Structures are given as C-alpha cells and as structure tokens.
Amino acid sequence: MTTPHTQEKMPKGLLAAARWAAERTPESRNRAVDLYRAIAIMFVILGHWLLVAGVIRDGELSFVILLAEQRWTHYATWLFQVMPVFFFVGGFSNGLSWTSARKDPVKKSAWAASRLSRLLKPTVPVVLVWALAGLVAHAMGVSVDLISDASQAALVPVWFLAVYIIMTMAVPVTVALWDRLGVLSVGLLALAAIAVDAIAFGADQGWLRWSNYAFVWLAVHQLGYWWGSAERPKSWALGFIALGVLWLYILIVQFDFPVAMVSVPGAEMSNTRPPTTAMLAVGSVQIGVILLLTDLAQKWLRNEQIWAWVIVFNQMIMSIYLWHMTALLIVTGIAAYVFGGAGLHEPPGTGFWWAMRPIWVVLFTLVLIPFVLIFVRFEAGSKTTAEMRPGPWQAVLGALMTCSGLVVMAMVGLGKENAIGVNWLAVGLVVIGVLVATRRFSRA
C-alpha cells in the first residue's frame, strides 16, 4: 500500500510530468478520448485560421469570412465543425468522473467545483488582457465600436465554452437520467430536437429553436455515457455513419437545410446558432468514425512517447483554444499597420491566397505559443483538496455568473459607451463568477 511518504513525486515541467503520467497510465484507460479531443481542437483552430481572412480594401483593414465569399467552403465545414466530438468525448469523461466521485460524499460535493476549475480559470487572463487592451485603446481615442469588434473576434470562441459549462453542471441530472432510461434517454432528447425543428420551421415558431441548445447537445453528451458503458462492435460505427449520411441528405436535399455546418454571414438560417438537427446528423457520422478508429488509436497510443505528447497537449488545450484568435488578430494587425499591409492585398480565396495560407498559419502559431506558455499555469490542475472546494450550489452559481459574462463577450465584445470604454459588468461577472465557482469562502 502506498503512503504519503512512499508516493513518487510528480516531476516539474509539462513534458516531464506528462512522461511520468504516461509511464503510469493504466492499460484500461481509453486513451483515444484524449487524442480525439486534441484533434478536434486542432480542427477548430485550423478552421478559424483558414476561413477568417484579413484583407485591405479601399485602404481599410477588414476581416472576411470566406464562407460568405466562396460557397464550396460550406462543404469544408463538415470537416471543421467538430463540436459534436467535444460533447461526445465530454460525456464519456464526465460520466466516468461523476460515477467515481459520487461514491465518496466529500468528492461528490466538490465534483462540480473540481470539474469547473480547469474550464473556468483559463478564461480570466484572456478576459482581463482584452479588458486592459480596451481600456488603453479607449484612453488613446479608439472608438468603442472598434474595441467591440476586435474583442468580439478574439473572444467569440467562448460561446462554446459557455454551453459546455452548462452541460457539465447538468451531469448529475443527466447521469441519473441515463441510469434510469439508458439509451432511451438519447432517443428522447433526439426526438425532442427533431420536434423543435419541425415546429419551428413548419409552424414559423423560430423562437422555439433556442431550446435545441439543450436538446441537441445533451443528446450528443448523453451518447458519451453510452460509449463509456461498454465496448461497441464496429457494426455500431458503420450504423452511425450510415444514419448520419442519410439524415444529412434528407435535411439538405429534401428540406433545404443549409449545407454549411457553421453560421454564414448574411445567411437566413444557421445550423449552429441555434443548432438544428443537422448537428445530430454530422455528429452521428463523427461518432461512427470515432468508434471505427478507436482500436487503432488505442494501439498507436501504447507508444509512451506519443501518449506523453497527447497528455501535454490536453494539459494546455483550453489555453490554446482561448488565445488562438488573439494570435490571428495580432499577426494581421502587425501586417496591416507595421508592414504596410504585406500579404493583405490579395483577394481572399484566389489560388495565390491559398498558396500563402500555410505561411500565415505558421505565423499565427508562432505568436500563439508564448501566450500558451505564459497562461497555461491557469489551466493546471488545482492542488486544493476536495474539502477546500465549494459545494455544488455555490459552484453552479459561479458557473452561471461566468457564462453570463462570456455570452455577452461572444455576442457583442467588450466595448461599452461609458467612461472607460469597457463593459466592466461582463468582465466582473467572469472574474467574480470564477472565484465563486472554484473557491470556498467558509471553513464550515
């Protein structure tokens, strides 16, 4: 039996700690989950870096969403829209974590705060840095509209984080639903999402569509519990792929749903804001691919060196996600205002423009790296014991406060017509919300 005196100390440094963890990973662990999460975040970032283009037109810098310029890119979103993957692997991880924690009353009480810590803490530095930048810009005479536009572009990725946080807080309820109904709970949620689309579009009740933020993503998250409950034969994988392809055909060809799986500027309808059942169809295909490749991924990840790098990437995944658009804005701004618009005069979407895109991706990556290295410490697992974490209700309150601030930033940015030019209320909700969600204020 291991005691505090005989336990091995984890070495310092991300890579050294990852190698230490890789050597001690039990054979029973589903390592593919971490790999899929890492691949998914890379697809999100690459999609943003490829499809959001800075361009100088009439002497002014503007940003073009390539989806609005070239229709063929709508099909590319079938590859880059990987939100279903996050909710699927999130359901797998959350289900196992909660099932383990609820066996111990102390860990059960602290579970929400523990889970929120790595999700919420990394948001604080990115919000504060952009708030400070907005404050300085306003003092220098920059318009509130420009502050709003720039900060919104940098912070728009947090919309997903807000939704995922709510899903995580609902885990005790959704796991209980799974325990009671099993896979039927997935079917009921999917049917509810289909009913919402049918009523919203058939009876012109568009307001009802917003409820699909819950039904669509909860259905995918619930499938993660299904994945974690038993090993599945490959026939399931092929079934999911076939179902998803058929579903997409019906929605797009028969019911005129958009081809693009992300929002397109100027389009009358979006498959993601709010989500339609097309997200379930794409998710079905992606889940099928995941199930099909898991055995191969597991064998590949038996290599401890490869597995260690996957661990490293997952330890900084939130920092990479939260700062990648900031890196894009910085590089584009330097090119526009320091180097006279170098590389920004070519119309987006031309052959030469695409040929130059890898160079831009490299530049974005080089600027992103120092941000990640500086702020990854906020993502590191907290050393706070379960007894020192807040209870579930305090954690949920803090999470809701944080999400309220994040949603405002994702929708309209941080600019505000006031004395400082910054929406201090949204910033305060995030900072205070994180403190409430992750820190216990009384010892009782």
Q: Which tokens go with 285?
A: 């295909």
Residue 379: pLDDT band with limits 50, 70, 90: confident
What are the tens digits of pLDDT across the range 225-236? 999 887 777 789
How much of the chain is helix, strand and coil, in % rounded to 5? 70, 5, 25
The pLDDT of residue 440 is 80
The pLDDT of residue 175 is 96
Residues 233, 226: Cα–Cα separation, whole Å: 13
Three-state secondary-structure class, residue 231: coil
Whether the per-residue pLDDT at 2 is higher than 60: the answer is: no
Average pLDDT along the chain: 90
Residue 5: pLDDT band with limits 50, 70, 90: very low
Tell me the mean pLDDT in the region 153-157.
89
Residues 160, 291: Cα–Cα separation, whole Å: 24
Tell me the mean pLDDT in the region 226-248.
90
Whether the per-residue pLDDT at 380 is higher than 80: the answer is: no
Q: Are 390 and 437 in contact (CB under 8 A)?
A: yes
List the one residue out of 212, 189, 216, 230 whose CA is nearest residue 92: 230
The pLDDT of residue 439 is 85
What are the tens digits of pLDDT across the range 110-127? 899 989 988 999 999 999
Q: Are 234 and 294 in contact (CB under 8 A)?
A: no
The pLDDT of residue 358 is 94
Q: pTM of the prediction?
A: 0.91
- Phi and psi at residue 56, in whole multiples of 5°? -100, 120
